[in-house]
């Protein structure tokens, strides 16, 4: 039996391919936004907060899928930049409600057309008839792996 090459193994590895696709998409995002130092995750946070003002950071973790410690770091940096503000929630004095500042709203509004172009450029790498299916498949992967992670986490407690 012929020995499988490393490149052919990587070409069949969902883990590797998802990572590479994510790297390429992030590079595309950075090149489209030019000198702005907004990352794809920061954009996701701005967009999510704009659509759900007053979210707690826990809810923001749930909606974006960004892990708790990374999200806390992102929020901290965005607070320093004046893009977000937060205050203690009424329901839980330990939790913070997050909302956009005026500057955060301006940055989001300016970056939205570029983010849409990035999405369009990513999808343009596929034939038109495969694009909706690709998005459905990615969502199915995210949902399936999220459930698996929840199950794994529940089993450890």
pLDDT single digits (tens) 26-59: 999 999 987 667 999 999 999 999 999 889 888 9
Position 3 scores a pLDDT of 64
Position 118 scores a pLDDT of 96
Position 35 scores a pLDDT of 64
Angle formed at CA 22 by CA 70 and CA 20, multiple of 5 degrees: 125
CA distance 24 to 18: 10
User: Whole-number mean pLDDT of the chain?
Assistant: 90
21, 28 Cβ separation under 8 angstroms: no
Which residue ranges make up each domain of the chain? 16-125
β-bridge pairing 96-100 and 84-88? antiparallel
Position 1 scores a pLDDT of 46
CATH class of 16-125: mainly alpha
Position 8 scores a pLDDT of 86
Residue 123, burial from CB neighbour count under 10 angstroms (0-12, 13-18, 19+): middle
Please name which of 48, 35, 119, 32 lies closest in space to residue 83, comparing C-alpha atoms: 48
Pick the more confident residue, 7 or 113: 113
């Amino acid at each position: 039996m012929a020995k499988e090459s490393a490149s052919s193994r990587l070409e069949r590895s969902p883990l590797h391919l998802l990572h590479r696709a994510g790297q390429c998409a992030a590079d595309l995002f950075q090149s489209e936004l030019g000198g702005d130092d907004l990352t794809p995750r920061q954009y996701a946070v701005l967009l999510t907060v704009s659509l759900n003002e007053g979210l707690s950071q826990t809810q923001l973790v749930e909606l974006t899928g960004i892990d708790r410690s990374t999200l806390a770091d992102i929020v901290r940096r965005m607070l320093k930049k004046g893009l977000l503000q937060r205050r203690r929630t009424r329901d839980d004095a330990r939790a913070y409600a997050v909302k956009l500042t005026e500057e955060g709203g301006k940055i989001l509004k300016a970056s939205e057309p570029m983010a849409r172009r990035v999405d369009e450029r990513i999808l343009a790498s596929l034939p038109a008839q495969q694009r909706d299916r690709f998005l459905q498949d990615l969502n199915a992967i995210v949902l399936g792996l999220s459930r698996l992670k929840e199950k794994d986490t529940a089993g450890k407690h």
